[in-house]
């Protein structure tokens, strides 16, 4: 069944693949990006089932305008795919406070803006899907990713809680946690390196940056396959609450789950005996 699918960050990387696969499957697509003329060119020009509109996710006004344009053109929004994001990487002390805030503006407040604009439409319909792409870094903290992981952990907490807010209106949420996919996240323009430089970190920073740059284009995951998997989830009657995407992501999630269980068990004696003792209150 054809759906109206709004995709953020459709001008490059995974967003382009999602839009292309959705069009190929017969869906009506609202493809958004900061430079709509480039989005349209990337997707092959004007098409009957395609609406391209400007959307900088850090602007609530842009988000509301894009949502209204979608309804004006197609009459509804069935699926929102929050895909737009970027990567600020580096050791915490070398990431400036301004960089940290910019990371959260795009990766957390950005999808919040778009979701805030779309939810009134979905509530009126009493139907909708909100799919937000986080990262394995939203489950597992790693070296050199404190800003990115912080934004993705926050995004996960928001989405996990949003589920309960919107389920009564037949709106379903899915968190997508990809591993390494061959997208454009590691290219200049999507990745920002640390602004500050501290001598103690210097011997580790340069090799980390070179290592990340060398990974670009060699990631194991196929973004076109991920895009098709997202469309499958969008069509499920009861979609997955979490979609762990990629063998590397599944391995990381399993390791984190085991670690959490082990830490809970290790905390049992000390942490499990902290309640008020009413008899001695």
How far is the first Cα of the chain from the last one, in angstroms, to the nearest whole number? 62
Pairing state between β 171-178 and 242-245: parallel
Cα–Cα distance for residue pair 247/202, rounded to 1 Å:
33
Q: Which tokens go with 117?
A: 């604009």
Q: Which residues are catalytic?
A: 148
Cα–Cα distance for residue pair 142/149, rounded to 1 Å:
8
């Amino acid at each position: 069944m054809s759906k109206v699918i709004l995709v953020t960050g459709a001008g490059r990387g995974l967003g382009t693949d999602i839009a292309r696969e959705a069009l190929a499957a017969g869906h009506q697509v609202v493809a958004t990006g900061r430079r709509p003329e480039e989005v349209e060119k990337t997707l092959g020009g004007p098409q009957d089932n395609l609406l391209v509109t400007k959307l900088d996710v850090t602007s609530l006004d842009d988000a509301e305008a894009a949502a209204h344009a979608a309804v004006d053109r197609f009459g509804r929004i069935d699926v929102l795919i929050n895909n737009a994001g970027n990567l600020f990487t580096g050791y915490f002390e070398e990431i400036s406070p301004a960089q940290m805030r910019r990371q959260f503006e795009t990766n957390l407040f950005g999808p919040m803006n778009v979701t805030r604009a779309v939810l009134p439409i979905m509530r009126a319909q009493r139907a909708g899907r909100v799919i937000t792409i986080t990262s394995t870094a939203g489950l597992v903290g790693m070296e050199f990713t404190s800003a990115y992981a912080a934004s993705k952990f926050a995004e996960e907490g928001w989405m996990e809680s949003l589920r309960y807010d919107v389920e009564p209106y037949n709106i379903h949420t899915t968190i997508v946690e990809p591993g390494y996919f061959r997208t454009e996240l590691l290219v200049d323009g999507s990745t920002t390196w640390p602004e500050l430089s501290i001598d103690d970190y210097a011997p580790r920073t340069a090799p980390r940056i070179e290592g990340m740059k060398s990974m670009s284009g060699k990631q194991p995951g196929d973004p076109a396959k991920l895009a098709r998997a997202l469309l499958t989830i969008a069509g499920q009657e009861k979609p997955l609450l979490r979609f762990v995407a990629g063998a590397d992501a599944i391995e990381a999630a399993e390791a984190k789950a085991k670690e959490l269980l082990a830490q809970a068990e290790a905390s049992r004696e000390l942490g499990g005996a902290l309640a008020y003792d009413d008899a001695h209150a």
